[in-house]
Amino acid sequence: MNSSSFISKFSFLKRAFGNKPFRLLDIGAGNHSATKAKSVFPNCEYHGVDLERDYNNSEADFKLMKAFYEMDLTRLDFAAIPDNYFDAVLMVHVIEHLYNGDDVIKGLLPKLKSGGYMYIEYPGEKSTRLPSMQGSLNFKDDPTHVRVYSVKELSALLAEKNCTVLKGGTRRNAWFILAMPFRIIKTWLTGKKLQGNIFWDLLGFAEYVWAKKL
């Protein structure tokens, strides 16, 4: 997950909750996600879900979590996670790794309280037509990507499950588009290879859906 993905999902949560306490279920809780979330939302109760406990997480990250659920989402066994408990569920760059991501979403919606929010982000269909690049610019650059989803498909699924889609489409962050030339120059100056995620926002790599449970 790149930096603009963190900013995008947090911006939706910020508008929904501000600085108020809320309960967050983060599906895909690696890469120090708990520390990043708590730095922006110190009053949130953070619960993380991931396939492996130690996917770029430290003990400091786990100390910030109310709970961590180590599970294979594709098995659709979510009994360990409390029902009707969370104010928000995040699934950012997760479902593209799941052949049954639609069923996973259906299985997780009961965990969300009435009036709660869900944010889903993933590589859109356009990503299948972008050039191949290190760091993923084309959908197939990541061999663990198994299925392409769409805003239309996910919106229909959520509507069927008593949710209202508040917003959805191609994810573009104006700040990251404006910062792109400086990120490219910095990469060159440090002697590193350009990463595909630098171009995600400009080229429309990712799509998102932001929904509210009725």
Fold of 3-213: Rossmann fold (3.40.50)
Neighbours of 137 (CB within 10 A): 21
Residue extents of the structural domains in the chain:
3-213
Kindly state the average pLDDT of the residues 21-31: 97
pTM higher than 0.85, yes or no? Answer: yes
* Alpha carbons 68 and 157: distance in angstroms, whole number: 27
Predicted confidence at residue 54, as pLDDT, reads 83
Predicted confidence at residue 4, as pLDDT, reads 64
Q: Which among 108, 101, 99 is positioned nearest to 49, based on CA atoms?
A: 108
Q: What is the pLDDT of residues 124-164, one digit of tens each?
A: 999 999 999 999 999 999 999 999 999 999 999 999 999 99
Strand partners, 104: none
Pairing of strands 206-213, 163-170: antiparallel
Share of the chain above pLDDT 70, in %: 97
When the pLDDT of each residue in the chain is averaged and rounded to a whole number, the result is: 96
Of residues 175 and 158, the one with the higher pLDDT is 158
Whether residue 1 has pLDDT greater than 70: no
